[in-house]
Amino acid sequence: MSKQAVKILKALSDKTRIAIVRDFLAGHETVCPDIKAELSKSQPTLSHHINKLKNADIIIETKRGTTCYYKVNESYLKNLGIDIRKLVNT
């Protein structure tokens, strides 16, 4: 197994992060307040989990003004042979 795959699986080893990825997959781009309301997590906790997902290249952050938008980096994951939709929905 590649180092990249191990990093991705480690990042997905938490059920909160899996829930975040599922939410991101449901929409095209998502902002933190939307996820915070849905998951009932504090902002610091949510930021921690989002940073783990960003560091594993599972999600991409795009800034527009002062707002950060997130989406799943599906093309990167597909290049690694990972079907993220199947992985987080099992």
pLDDT of residue 5: 84
pLDDT of residue 33: 66
Q: Is the dihedral of CA 29, 14, 86, 3 positive or negative?
A: positive
Range of the domain at 73: 3-88
Q: What CATH number does residue 69 fall under?
A: 1.10.10.10
90 or 54, greater pLDDT:
54
pLDDT of residue 38: 67
Going across the sheet that includes 30-31, the strands are: 30-31, 67-72, 59-64
pLDDT of residue 49: 92
Q: Which pLDDT tens digit goes with each residue over 4-22?
A: 888 998 999 999 899 888 8
Q: Is the dihedral of CA 71, 75, 80, 82 positive or negative?
A: positive
If DSSP codes are grouped into helix, strand and coil, which group holds residue 28? Answer: coil
Strand ranges in the chain using DSSP code E only, listed in sequence order:
30-31, 59-64, 67-72
Provide the number of structural domains found in the chain. Answer: 1
